[in-house]
Amino acid sequence: MIKFKEFTIGLLIFLWMIASFLVWWVLSGLVEPPSGNLVPPKIRQITRQAEALIYPYVWRQYIFTTE
Amino acid sequence: MIYIIIFYTIFYVLVNLFLGLILLKVISAQKIHQWPVLVQFCSGFLLGQGVLANLWLLLGLLSWFKKPVILVIIILIAIIGTLTLRPFFQTIKPEFRKIIEAIKKLTLIWKIFFSLLIILVLCFAIGSIIKSPTGDAEAFYMVLPKIMAYTGTLQPPANYISFSQIGLSGEMHFAALMVIAGPVASKFFVWFTALAAAVMLLIIGRLAGLKAKGQIIVLILLFTSTAFTNYIMDGKVDVFGAAFGLAAYYWVLQTKRENGWTPLALTGLFAGLAFIAKFSNILVISPGILTILSWNIYSDSRKIKESFKRFVISAIISLGIIGLFIFISAIPHLTKNAIIYGEPLAPFFFFKPQGSSWIEQVWYSAQTTKFILLTYPFALTFGQYPMQDGNLSVLIFAFLPLIFLKQNNSIIKKQILTVALIGLAIWMIMRPSVLSPRYILATLLLFGVVMASGFENLLNQQKYYILKFIGISMMLVILLVSIAGQWRLSKLFVRLIFGRIDIRSLNTGAYFPALDFINKSYSPSDQIFIAGAYRYFLRPEILVNIKPPDGLTVTWEYLYNKGYNKIVIQKDSSLFVLKDLENNPPPDWLETKMIYDDFRTTIFSINKKN
């Protein structure tokens, strides 16, 4: 049986880690990194096509117009 | 040509190592063998670096920084080292065998991680060779060495007179390598220093209880932190301060009574070198050293139930030894500032009233600063502020909550976390608007050890399988993305190795075409005015002859009267000069002509009409 405390801690850490990764990934498309950090543009160009299928229209518009 | 550069750089690295090992033997009274080989290796290399940089500094002050003198010194060190250090090199083989055995025992996924890490580190080596100096390196950090290598004398660049009051550690090695092997070797040398910093961090991790997986994780955290990796390749010197700082942290962790006075002396030496290499280290590393030192002395006192008085006496003696060695390592720097500026304690304290301190820097408005403070540690990982130039690895941020999971916390791990938190807190209080991880890199990297330990602890638990999967996947993706970011350089390097391109054609930055135009059209009678900081690509004889204007308002007439006949305007930083000149047309008797223009730079010639 799953312990409630353990499950909650695990879930919170899971969300933190996933959120960190997504922020890192999405930020790479939103800002122009001054030192070439974050995700290289070529990789983002490829994944953007897949991301476009997932993101809601408003987000997509924002991402595409600011990138 | 590239092979010669690599050969010379490795030879110079070995000279640093030999010198450091000889000094370590002297300082520890032949007892250095009680520490692990890797510790001896990295401490030796870094100590040799610190001493050699100071030697070059003194030679520069005496105008003896000439190729024959440098060659005699390094060859002499190489010969003495080869003759006296044979027993040490016999101990390396078993150590490497141990490391290989440990790697063999890893599971496939960790072997993959290790291989990707090696590929990434090699990519940075390639980057340090191929990438051209950029940013501040083009403005100062590689300009001062270029002038010194050419003139044999330490003299500040014309536009950085006050700023040259900083400690010049990395710059001295740049200058020495420019003399014996050229500027590419200078940048490549930073990679070796970065390796030493990485190994110091790894050894601190071992002290904190990291096992094989944890050690791989801490290295992944380090080499995916752009606040560290950017400076391996761009020709700046921040890596030197970080490496010395980490060495100081390692040795202060070793200040236990049974270890004698060697760790105290080495803490002092490395702390002094770290302070000189990067002044910001003074603010954050000093409290860390004081904390760990008092902690260790107090623990020792409690073990043998000493009185409080004995504890205080021990603390004063230990502090005295550390202070003495900090002072010893700072003597050449103080001498430099005394000779050049007549102010040994510049830029912190001036004996003359007209001295101005440039260290009180405020980068942003109160509102932005408040926002930055409220968004720590987010700002360190994701911030994209101007001049921040690099972040801590997102993995450090992602693994942050793992430290709250139940685990065995050794005293050393607690000490590491404490000094990292104290250092960061002090920085946030004392320099709230200066958001740039590179300023306090050694201290921030200690968080990497704690986070790596947290993730290794998670991996050892028989639960949280999804978290393990997420963590490992993140590391894999981020490593692959980091390698992909450097992949273009590897392709260039292959072409370079096979002689299809020349290294000189690669070491050119955005300002190169305009400055090369000046190089080609220069005659000794030319007087060049440069509005802008980026001058590295000028020939050294031109760099030496550039004189800065003595006023702030620039007009055509003023420039002509001051004797300038070529006006170089770098538009990124000095567009206002161009606007000023356009808005104030030259007098009728003066002829101005645009002789060069590109995206970054405009060059005019000015002459009196016949």
pLDDT tens for each residue of B40-76:
999 999 999 999 999 999 999 999 999 999 999 999 9
Q: Worst-scoring range by mean pLDDT, A28-32, B177-181, B385-389?
A: A28-32
Residue B594 pairs in a beta bridge with B604
* Residues B470, B407 contacting (CB under 8 angstroms): no
**B461: which 2 tokens?**
């638990």
What Å distances lie between residue B205 and B269, B406, B440, B449, CA to CA? 21, 19, 18, 5
Look up residue B72 and give its two tokens.
């005699």
CB contact under 8 A, B401 and A40: no
Q: Classify the phi-psi angles of B570: left when phi > 0, otherwise alpha if psi is within -120 to 50, otherwise beta.
A: beta
Residue-wise pLDDT for B244-272, tens only, equals 999 999 999 999 888 889 999 999 999 99
Of the candidates A17, A23, A40, the beta carbon closest to that of B470 is on: A17
B484:A6 CB<8 A: no
Residue B452 confidence (pLDDT): 96
Test A35 with B230 for CB contact under 8 angstroms: yes
The answer to whether B401 contacts chain A (CB < 8 Å) is: yes
- CB within 8 Å: B386 and A31: no
Give the confidence band of B140 by pLDDT, cuts at 50, 70, 90: very high
For residues B607 and B589, give the distance between their C-alpha atoms in angstroms, rounded to a whole number.
9
Q: Tens digits of per-residue pLDDT, B508-548?
A: 888 999 999 999 999 988 999 999 899 999 999 999 988 87
> Regarding beta strands B566-570 and B601-608, do their DSSP bridges make them parallel or antiparallel, or are they unpaired?
antiparallel
Longest dimension (CA), chain B: 92
- Percent helix, strand, coil in chain B, to 5, is 70, 5, 25
- What's the DSSP call for residue B153? S
Say if residues B149 and B179 touch (Cβ distance below 8 Å): yes
Q: Which of B388, B394, B464 sits opposite A20 (nearest CB)?
A: B394
Nearest CA among B140, B243, B120 for reference residue B189? B243
Q: How far apart are CA B244 and CA B144, in angstroms?
A: 22
Min Cα distance A43 → chain B (Å) is 8
Residues B198 and B203: their CA atoms lie apart, in Å, by 9
Is residue B226 within 8 angstroms of chain A, CB to CB? yes
ipTM summary value: 0.85
* Strand ranges (E), B321-472: none
Shortest distance, CA B15 to any CA of chain A (angstroms) = 33
Q: Bridge-partner residues for B529, per DSSP?
A: B567
C-beta atoms surrounding B500 within 10 Å: 9
Query: What is the predicted pLDDT for the residue at A38?
Result: 61
User: Would the pLDDT of A66 be above 50?
Assistant: no
Asked if B230 and A37 come within 8 Å (Cβ–Cβ), the reply is yes
3-state secondary structure of B594: strand
Under 8 Å between Cβ of B189 and B123: no
Name the residue among B225, B206, B239 with its Cα closest to residue B398.
B225
**Nearest residue on chain A to B482, alpha-carbon basis:** A39
Mark yes or no for CB contact B484/A43 under 8 Å: yes
Per-residue CA distances from B451 to B198, B201, B413, B444, B456 (Å): 16, 13, 11, 11, 9
Spatial separation of the C-alpha atoms in residues A7 and B516, rounded to whole Å: 64
* Peptide bond preceding A34 in cis form (omega within 30 of 0): no
pLDDT at A61 over 60: no
Distance CA B136, CA B284 (A): 23
Question: Are B226 and B436 a contacting pair, CB within 8 Å?
Answer: no
Are A35 and B466 a contacting pair at CB < 8 A?
Answer: no
In chain B the first and final C-alpha atoms are separated, in Å, by 49
| Segment B152-160 mean pLDDT | 92
Number of residues assigned to chain A? 67
H/E stretch holding B601 reads strand B601-608
The Cα–Cα gap between B567 and B50 comes to: 40
d(C-alpha B190, C-alpha B196), whole Å: 10
Do the chains contact at A23 and B382, CB–CB below 8 Å? yes
CB contact under 8 A, A34 and B389: yes
In contact, B248 and B301? CB cutoff 8 Å: no
Q: Tell whether B225 is within 8 A of chain A (Cβ).
A: no
Residues 6 or more apart in contact with residue B562 via CB below 8 angstroms: B527, B529, B549, B550
- CA B240, CA B446: separation in Å to the nearest integer? 16
Length of chain B in terms of residues written: 610
Residues facing B602 on adjacent strands: B569, B597
pLDDT tens-digit readout, B93-127: 888 899 899 999 999 999 999 999 999 999 999 99
Q: Between B284 and A3, where is the model more confident?
A: B284
B394 touching chain A per CB within 8 A: yes
Which residue of A18, A24, A47 to mutate against B (max B Cβ within 10 Å)?
A24
**Per-residue pLDDT tens over the stretch B190-245:** 999 999 999 999 999 999 999 999 999 999 999 999 999 999 999 999 999 999 99
Residue from the list B390, B397, B405 with its beta carbon closest to the beta carbon of A37: B390
Domain residue ranges of chain B, discontinuous segments joined by +: 2-481, 512-608
**Minimal C-alpha gap between B225 and chain A (Å):** 9
- Whether a cis peptide bond, with omega within 30° of 0, leads into B432 is no
What integer is the mean pLDDT of B575-602? 90
pLDDT at B548: 77
* Mean pLDDT for the stretch of residues A32-52: 65
d(CA B241, CA B273): 8
Residue B431 contacts residue B280 (beta carbons within 8 Å)? yes
Q: In what order do the strands lie in the sheet with B601-608?
A: B528-531, B566-570, B601-608, B590-597
Q: Is A30 on the interface with B (CB under 8 A)?
A: no
